[in-house]
Chain A
Amino acid sequence: MIRPLSTLKVGEKGKIVKLVGGIGMIKRLSDLGFIPEQEVEVVRSAPGGPIAIRVKGTIYALGRGVADKIYVDDV
């Protein structure tokens, strides 16, 4: 099921399908390894706040608004 990364629970994994939003943000995210086909895992979630995602061995904190713009599918 394709859904925004922000809806995943802690411990869940997903495979990136698509990034939406402004060019600047897409460029930044893809520079950090958020690219199609990439597997990502939700590591932490601050209540109402950002979520921490593991990508290629690194953890990034993404604001909810940012995580809304990354669409993932089941692994």
Chain B
Amino acid sequence: MPLVEGLQIRYMLTTSSEKADSHILSREITIALAGNPNAGKSVVFNQLTGGNQIIGNWPGKTVERTEGWIRYRGRRIRIVDLPGIYSLSTYTEEELIAREFILSGTPDVIINVIDASLLERSLFLTLQLLETEKPLVLAINQLDVAESKGLKTDVDTLSKLLGVPAVGIIATKGMGLNRLLATAIELAEKRERVVPPMYGGEIEQSLEELVRLLGEAYPEYPARWLAIKILERDEWIGKLSIPEEILDRAEEVRNKIEETHKESIEVVISSERYALASRIARSSQYYERKKRTILQNLDTVLLHPILGYVSMLFFLFVTFVALFKIGAVGSSFLEALFSNLDRFISNVSIPEVFKNLLWDGLLSGFISGITIALPYILPFYLFLSFLENSGYLARIAFLTDSIMHKLGLHGKGIIPIIMGYGCNVPAILGTRILESKRERTIVSFLSMLIPCSARTVVILGLVGIFLGLKWALLIYILDLVIIYIAGVLMNRYYPGETPGLIMEVPDLRIPVIKPTLRQSWFRIKEFLYVALPYMMLGSTMLEVIKILGWFDAINRILSPIIVYWLGLPPITGIVLIFGLLRKELTLILLSTLSGTTNFSMILNPRQMFIFSLFVTLYIPCLATIAALKKELGNITAFLLVIAEISLSLLIAGILNHLWLYIIG
């Protein structure tokens, strides 16, 4: 079996080189930040690392990974911000990632960031982190918020009860962070294993027995932690090939426990953890009085069955108008800036062909990317970060959940779809907020059908001007109907099922500016890396086709579809191909090729309507395809593109023939 042997050798090589690495870097300390979503982890992370950080994805996952470095007394400290989680089970990708990272042995110490105003629930995770027996420091965050809710926290008692150091912090104000870092590093140097928390008598007895049976067979994991996972029926245990007799014995023990409690083992163990968390929380926190804050009053309006929808529509409408205005202004400013470059290049003395390739090809692809990304996408990203970090995103998802369910989606799916009106690329990158690949695929497809700002230019510039705004509006409504039907169909025929909504609605808060800005900046950089190369390549290739004089040939090849099925003039064939680069290019190129901006000379009303509708639906632009590839993989991206082309041909063609048949 040469294949297997080869694999084994490679495996051995990587492990030995990893060992060498860790030896060289032995002075480096790795700190893992763990905590619930919204506990303030990213604020702590930003405060600790300053600017030295990189954002990427966890290998092979769509979950964002943030890592940073600092120097502390001549030492290099690596800080890894783990995804926000509620538990260390295997329910979500985030939980799996956090768990793997913690258990792989890499972190020297864990900083567990806790929201002091949600102490009991936070401690539920803390207890599980302690089960892994890694050194741990508690960072009791948002002491100010807790106090405004009437909750006084006794940090020392918490520390005593859990047997680990605890530091009270207010991350947004940078308070307590130096002490937190010093405590974490001191703990990392000691390398002491922590004492795991003890649960109820019968569970402890069962665990003790399993630990005895496991012996020293799995030295890389703490035996008691393994025993808990075996008892919990954790899926991941299957990978370890644990001897049958241990699993059988665990089964017996589990059955006995389930019988006594008349509950499944998951519920029994969660209840045990919560009972302990609750005891600790009650002895270390005191409740004084309750005073409704302004944000709490605002929340009553935002989630109100009627006012909630009114305020949501108003908020979204205002934001959209603002974003479009900002985009338009920024875009024309950038274009003016770049057009100076055009003059410069035409003065350079190189052969015309190279000028065309360089300017109309490579550079115009680059410029297209920049003029879309900065003015349109960056404000959208800022808007999204604001929505996320203020807690309003969760409220929109709550309000729209019932409509979205008909499309097989959660309320959260509305967010990327809304973003699609600005640009489809952030919409597709934004599908990351959804849990399953099924949801991400459906939402990506639906977002691609949303007329982005580039397509709005075509719809308004052609149908809006020459046929009237009513007809333009009709395209938007038709588009929404198509999206709705496509969503319902995809939900019915796409295998799998969307699990019911279980989502935290965090307290409303005013977002901290720095992390919000930084997050947007990293996302926009990511967009540029994904989309720019494709746009430059595509634009150059089209220029090559132009230089080779293949336009007529392409128009002839496409004419059965363009002329007979869609009823458009042959010239639109090449125009539609260029639209792949940027949809508004279709209109610009149409006027260049026909030599007029009075489109009523070359298109009749039917053709204008069909052309605009087809441009809206026909194929995602190259940047969108690149985003699809990145988020969903090559195969799914390819299938979605094919599906969209077929859908647009079907709808535009049928409408064309209907129009011809009815109106003539």
Binding site for B on A (CB under 8 A): 19, 23-33, 35-38, 43-50, 52, 56-66
Contact = CB atoms under 8 A, between A and B. Distances in A.
A47 B267 contact: no
Contact of A58 (B87, B89, B118, B264): B118
A43 B124 CA distance: 23
Top-10 shortest CB links A-B: A49-B402, A30-B270, A63-B501, A66-B500, A63-B500, A31-B87, A65-B500, A59-B505, A27-B266, A61-B398
A52 to B, nearest CB: 6
B274 interface: yes
B664 interface: no
B501 A50 contact: yes
Interface string B100-127: 0000000000000000011011001000
Given A46-B401, A57-B121, A63 B264 contact: no
B267 A62 contact: no
A26 B120 contact: no
B121 A66 contact: no
A26 B264 contact: yes
A27 to B, nearest CB: 4
27 contacts: A24-B91, A25-B502, A26-B267, A27-B91, A30-B270, A30-B271, A31-B124, A31-B270, A35-B274, A36-B271, A46-B402, A47-B402, A49-B399, A49-B402, A56-B120, A56-B121, A57-B118, A58-B506, A60-B503, A60-B505, A61-B394, A62-B500, A62-B501, A63-B401, A63-B410, A63-B502, A66-B500
B254 to A, nearest CB: 13
Given A26-B266, A33-B120, A62-B500, 13 more contacts: A23-B264, A24-B91, A25-B500, A27-B91, A27-B266, A32-B502, A35-B271, A47-B305, A49-B399, A58-B506, A61-B394, A63-B401, A63-B410
Given A49-B401, A63-B405, A28 B120 contact: no
B263 interface: yes
B307 to A, nearest CB: 12
B91 A61 contact: no
Contact of A33 (B117, B121, B397, B405): B121
Interface string B112-147: 000001101100100000000000000000000000
A61 B305 contact: no
A31 B267 contact: no
Contacts of A19: 267
A26 B394 CA distance: 22
A26 B270 CA distance: 10
A58 B121 contact: yes
A63 B397 CA distance: 11
Nearest to B263: A36
Contacts of A56: 118, 120-121
Contacts of A28: 91, 502
A25 to B, nearest CB: 7
Interface string B258-270: 0000011011001
Contacts of A30: 266-267, 270-271
A58 B267 CA distance: 19
Contacts of A25: 499-500, 502
Given A31-B86, A33-B124, A46-B398, A61 B270 contact: no
A17 to B, nearest CB: 10
A59 B500 CA distance: 16
A39 B597 CA distance: 68
A23 B118 CA distance: 26
B653 interface: no
Contacts of B397: 61
A48 B402 contact: yes
Contacts of A48: 402
A36 B270 CA distance: 10
Contacts of A50: 398, 401-402, 411, 501
Contacts of B263: 36
B309 to A, nearest CB: 9
A58 B506 CA distance: 7
